[in-house]
Every structure is written in C-alpha cells, then in structure tokens.
Amino acid sequence: MSTATAPPSLSIKPKTRLLSIDVLRGLTVAFMILVNNNGNNDLAYRSLNHSPWNGFTPTDLVFPTFLFIMGISMVLSFSAHRAKATSNAVMLTSIVRRFVLLVFFGLVVNGFPYFHLGTLRIYGVLQRIAVCYLLAALLQLVTDRIAPRVALFIAAVLGYWVLLRFVPVPGHGVPGRDFPLLDHDINLVAWLDRHIFPHRLFELTRDPEGLLSDLPAFGTTLLGLLAGAWIKQARPAGQKLFGLLGAGIVLVVAGLLWSQNLPLNKKLWTSSYVLYAGGLSMLLLAVSYYIVEIRQSRGRWTYPLLVFGTNAITAYVISELLSSAVSVFKVNQTQSFQEYVYLNYFMHLGTPALGSLVYSILFVAICFIPAWLLHRKRIFIKL
C-alpha cells in the first residue's frame, strides 16, 4: 500500500480499512439512490433505468457492485476482529444481529407507510443483502482459505446455470426446448416464488430479488471475498492493482462469451451476469484503488462519497422511505407530491429526460443531508 513518502512498489503493509473501498461504496450508494428515484422512469435516460429483461445498462451494475464491496469489507473487518482476538461466539452474535436487522428494515421499507400485512412483499434489496451477508459471514467465520471460496463460487454460477437451463419447470417443460430460455414468467425462479409467496411479489408474477436467484447473488459476494483476500495480502500496491485489472478483464470477457448462450439478465441474476457485472466491479475497484490508495488523490471530491460510503445502508433506507413518502402523499386527486413536483418544476428543463435527471440529483442531495449530519457527528450506523 502506498504512502505519501514511499513508492507504491515498496509499501506492502495491508490496512484493515481502505478509503478506496469507502469511496467506491459511497459512489455506488449515491448512484443507487439516483437511479431509484428518477423524476419519471418512462421519460428518464435509458442508462438510468434497469434493462427491462435481457440486456445490461449502467443501472444494472449498482446492486452487484454493492454486494461485491460488502464481500471485500467483510474480509478486512474479520481480519481486524481476529487481530483483536474477538471470540467466534461474539462474532456469530454480531452476524445474526446484523442479518435480523437487515431483514427487519427491508420489511419496513417494503411496507412503509401503510404496512398492508396481507400483501407485504417479503423479498427485497435489503433482504438479499442480508442473505448474502449471512452466508458469506458464516463462511468467513469458519475459514479464510481461498480454495473453499473458489469452489463455492464455481458451484454457485454453474449450479444456477444448470437450474435455469436444464431443470424442467412444472407444467411447462424444459427451458430452451418447450419454451424460450429465460422466458419472463415461465422460468424456475418465478415459478418457485409464486408458490412460496403468492400475492407478495414485486412484479406480481415474479420478483427480481427472488429466493433462487440469491444463489448467484451469493456468488457475486464471493467475488468480493476473493478480491478482499487479494487486497489484504502483503504485496506491492502495483501488483495488487494489476491483479485486480487482470481478474476484471477475464471476468468481463467470460461473461460476454457466456451471454451468447445465457443472456445477461439482472432480474434473474444469470450466471453470465455474475461474471460480467463482477468483472466491471473489479475494474471499478482497481480504478478507485489506483486513484485513492496509490496516487493518494484525496480531498474535497472524496468527502461526499465518504459521507455516503460510511453510512451506506442508512442512506439507502432513508432514500427509500423518503421516496415512498413523496409517492403516496397526494397534492390533489390525481397527482402525488413526486408527480406534481416533477411535472411542474422539472419536466420542462431542456428535455423530459434531463428534467428527470435533475430531479434525481436533487433527491440525492436531500438524502445527503442526514448522512452528512451523521458523518459530522462521527455516528456510523452498522445495520
């Protein structure tokens, strides 16, 4: 790791916390809030919306990058706890507590403000984070060896591919033979979710954070564990950088090649998507690592990202609750507060898409305020 006084190649002592990780996490959360709160999804720039089905947009990179960063942070955090001789019992209690809190706040976000328990969505972003965190944390608690992580990653992406490609969907047949591969509603993921939580799915017939697709999402988190293990090693900073770049390029190419037979699909979290998005996340990490750790380029431009990055989940929860509030509060009989503000003050700023972007940026700025107040008081909420 480089310092202000030593060349990057001579500084090899790893740190338990890297500003480059916080910066990248902050950028990810800020962009997540941005794309989740377009002034109007139908009129927004295509890159600021998820791909409707097969395909990939920059927005589709947000969630996997967050899981990837979470995996890296876990390696560094567990290393710090080991250095303090924290017992496994204490660490396990903390893991379970965090899992429960993430699920709880996920349900709060889904239900706010009315909490219709009969149709409350069970799946969600925070719930997926909770599942991936629990599995990765238990693995990290048991062993920090690389081989089990690699084996589990391969099993996750190949196993999920087998499930999507070859396992018959009851009542419909075999994918790719009896119906199109990755059909929107006729796929094993959607079929299973409709049987587990009927009337509680985000898209009615399916859910983008469904149970079975937690498997490849865990694969994304495993990539973070592997990247974290690489960064933690006592190696020259330049070697770490080129390792991240090389791994990122390999993953991106592998994902694109696999997508010729198994399309990139964020809503199903396909195995090709795991590789492609994971590779891009790895490259983003390499860029952040180079700028912040090797070049030591820090200052005003990193501050807002650190504010979001050090209270990432809290900022996300605040944004989701605020988004729900402005969407359900009615200004008149036909318009919510969000619709009224966008149509009257933002839609005609140049183009509707530009107005939608300006609205989104303002929304991010508003969410920044409570995160900034917490950061200023040195309050870091670890859900």
Give the model confidence (pLDDT) of 167-201 as tens digits.
999 999 999 999 999 999 999 999 999 999 999 99
Q: 169 and 191 in contact (C-beta within 8 Å)? A: yes
Verify that 286 and 178 share a domain, yes or no: yes
Domain tally, the chain: 2
pLDDT at 7: 36
Residues 139 and 284 in one domain: yes
57 part of a folded domain = no
Residue 9 lies in a domain: no
- Asked whether the predicted pLDDT for residue 1 surpasses 90, the reply is no
Does residue 246 share a domain with residue 214?
Answer: yes
pLDDT at 82: 86
Cα distances (Å, whole numbers) of residue 363 to 38, 68, 141, 213, 290: 9, 25, 38, 30, 30
CB 223 within 8 A of CB 281: yes
pTM: 0.93
Q: Average of pLDDT values for 250-275?
A: 98
284 and 362 fall within a common domain: no
Sorting pLDDT into bands at 50, 70 and 90, what band is 334? confident
Same domain for 161 and 185: yes
Range(s) of the domain holding residue 281: 63-297
Same domain? For 121 and 224 the reply is: yes
Mean pLDDT over residues 26-54, rounded?
A: 95
| Residue that is last in its domain, among 255, 272, 297 | 297
Note the pLDDT of residue 333: 85
Same domain, 241 and 345: no
Over residues 215-234, mean pLDDT: 96
Looking at the fold, whether 76 and 42 belong to one and the same domain comes out as no
The answer to whether residues 291 and 326 belong to one domain is no
Domain shared by 292 and 312, yes or no:
no
Q: Is the pLDDT of residue 308 over 90?
A: yes
Question: Could you tell me if residue 245 is inside a domain?
Answer: yes
**According to the model, what pLDDT value does residue 215 have?**
98
Indicate the residue among 237, 265, 297 that finishes a domain. 297
- Of 275, 297, 319, the one marking the end of a domain is 297
Q: Is residue 1 part of a domain?
A: no
